[in-house]
Structure 1
């Protein structure tokens, strides 16, 4: 708490009045005060104050002890300087007692972060006691700064915010009641006016001397206590935000690890789909050619040799594609992570003619039609979408070969644009494979192929229509969105 007294040697005679020398404070910009008060007011809801600031460990206590010791030594030195020119000839007790009284307010500050509210109350009691006994000691800069630190630390470090505000209310009310009591004592006021050289009835400013002194004292002390509270709230709020940011960083790190793990899983699932489609295609070709070779092995050795050559080529292609896909999995465990995995280019729209020729060479008649809304649209499809189109057709034809009695299939590839609910047109590419056969007995599959087709459609925001036709046969129709 700050009180005002005129400078000069006569200040030594004011001990009995309970008023001390002035301790000028730093001026505050009005806008800064307004902003700090607004942030202070917004930080008061109890849901925000349920957070408890962590107590510093032994290292923090050691730093507090060192800091308080340095401040105590500097304050003792300043007290000696002040005694040389401000205490005058008045009897203010033994100098050692003065230093001891000043040191009393510094000792509790060692525990200001462990027991903030208790330290604030203890320092408030010491401040009042010293202010009554030796007012000039209580008004030294070091003593005032120590009490400011106790108020600031209580607001910045208190874990129980309800007890804090109760304690702050009691302390502030007690301090201002003490000021009011000092201002209302007539003898004390007379001495204060005489110390400023003001005689009764003289007015030098806009307000009478007593009114001016009272308002000035209240404003200075309001800035003193208000500044300690606002700076403390700013520190508490900053610590809260730092902990929230630390928690957020931890969550982001955990999420990044989880996303990386999910990315690996999704890549493995994608590779599993690719492997299924590759194996299904080549195994179906190998099965057909093996059956044909077995039937003509004796009567037509040349035809059997051709079938075996087809089996050999198809098996080599299957192994090559499997190695290409599995190279991605091996690359994550490679000793040299900078060495890229050796992969073949993923098939796309341009590879469909070769796929159809493979099936035609193995006895499945393929009729293919392609309709583009705009010329060159299919050639400009993104690589992932073109791969999904290729794999969908490949899996559909493999199913016809394995599970149907059909001698042929019709494949249609179309593009178009459809209006969306929001009015924006949506471009799409559609694949349709139909046959007129019946289910082949004893060839029930696992369903993974159709599930892979559905997953590809979902991946590209599309839709599927898979099932038997009313006129006989089977239809696989998938529409992908073109993003």
Structure 2
């Protein structure tokens, strides 16, 4: 039996041995009490039926004492889940003591089932598995002791052997009565004990699996919430970059045109009026773009009026780069735009999110030229190609100016936003002055 126990109990230090099964709930304790009372009642009826069949004919103890002893054997099961190991040890002692005191009662089915129920409960509910192993060893030793005492002291077995010896010779087995009885009882008890241990282990491991599944479900829930939180943060950062690009571009244009209008307001009113019309147009575009971005924040959170979406425009993409370059000429910056494809139609493979990142990179680059450079011309080039089996799209902005002496200091968010956009698509960014003068922003985005 110890080998069987060592085989099926978890190894010391393993995750299973460290886990403690939660104690019984009040509902389970209440069911245990009710169940024990029902078993005592059924056992009393079974005892009287067996008495009527003559099974208790040799027993001379008072009937009330027999019922009391049987109830004492069953009563500890009320605490089988709350104090599993203690109940198992107590019932082992009761099984031996009461079995030797009134041997006929030890043959009652309820008497034996109660004992094995305590063993099952100990294996299924014990929190400390080391204590359980020690307690199970004690139980195995107690079983062996009980078998030895039953075969040597109990009058029940003496009477059984006498009845076999007085019987017909042809009814005897291949072994002598004492050996046959000893082997038979050993096999039966090993089967009962082994079955109780295995069923108890199965119950305990099922509880462990349920606890692990519940923990995994809780972990998945926490991870899902964390992923959702990160997604919201990343989306907010993306929108913050979009807002920065939109505001920086349009406000820069408005500032340039407002300054030009102020300088020529008295001498050339028609030029000032044209500048003011440009300011009006750009401000409307800025409001429209910001409304669209703020609408992204609102979508899914509030029930929007469909009419609010009517004024929104699609996000800009590669097809809008030419218009972006032409719009810079109105601000005094000549921009030449070129598209270069290694394979015809290669730029059509660019997805909408990537196209938006390319557009915003171009917009930020041109805005920085107007705000921080003396350049009067720039070259905007969009390329598509392949390197090492990986397709890419590249945007390069080059100007011929020098940094302004009194240029307003920027926040740095624009160029940082360019780097983050490129990194998002597993690409590379090259930003800095050119060796022969001017400034270059080159961003290569990888196609998925």
SS at match of 2:397: strand
Alignment match, 2:115: 147
Q: Equivalences for 1:192-271 in 2 at 5 Å? A: 192-196=160-164, 210-271=178-239
CA distance in 1, matches of 2:343, 2:173: 89
Q: Residues 91, 137 of structure 1: CA spacing in aligned structure 2 closer, same or farther, 3 A cutoff?
A: closer
Q: Is the 8 A contact 1:328 1:341 kept in 2?
A: no
Q: Is the 8 A contact 2:59 2:104 kept in 1?
A: no
Q: Is the 8 A contact 1:92 1:134 kept in 2?
A: no
Q: Equivalences for 1:13-412 in 2 at 5 Å? A: 40-41=8-9, 43-47=10-14, 48-87=16-55, 89-183=57-151, 191-196=159-164, 210-331=178-299, 333-334=301-302, 336=303, 342=309, 343-412=312-381
CA distance in 1, matches of 2:354, 2:141: 74
Q: Is the 8 A contact 1:296 1:303 kept in 2?
A: yes
Q: Give ranges in structure 2 of 5+ residues lacking alignment.
A: none
CA distance in 2, matches of 1:340, 1:184: 98
CA distance in 2, matches of 1:39, 1:405: 83
CA distance in 2, matches of 1:209, 1:428: 91
For the aligned residue pairs, the C-alpha RMSD in angstroms reads: 2.7
Q: Is the 8 A contact 2:51 2:57 kept in 1?
A: no
Q: Is the 8 A contact 1:53 1:159 kept in 2?
A: yes
Q: Residues 329, 186 of structure 1: CA spacing in aligned structure 2 closer, same or farther, 3 A cutoff?
A: closer
Q: Is the 8 A contact 1:116 1:150 kept in 2?
A: yes
User: Once the two structures are superposed, what CA deviation does each residue of 1:151-205 show, in whole Å capped at 9, x if it has no partner?
Assistant: 1111111122222111110111121232144446799766444545786986976
Counterpart pick for 1:458 among 398, 401, 423:
423
Alignment match, 1:475: 440
Alpha-carbon shift at residue 465 of structure 1 (Å): 0.8
Alpha-carbon shift at residue 283 of structure 1 (Å): 1.6
CA distance in 2, matches of 1:138, 1:337: 78
Alignment match, 1:427: 391
Q: Residues 131, 338 of structure 1: CA spacing in aligned structure 2 closer, same or farther, 3 A cutoff?
A: farther
Alpha-carbon shift at residue 267 of structure 1 (Å): 1.1
TM-score by length of 1: 0.84
Alignment match, 1:438: 402
TM-score by length of 2: 0.91
CA distance in 2, matches of 1:255, 1:185: 65
Q: Give ranges in structure 1 of 5+ residues lacking alignment.
A: 1-35, 420-424
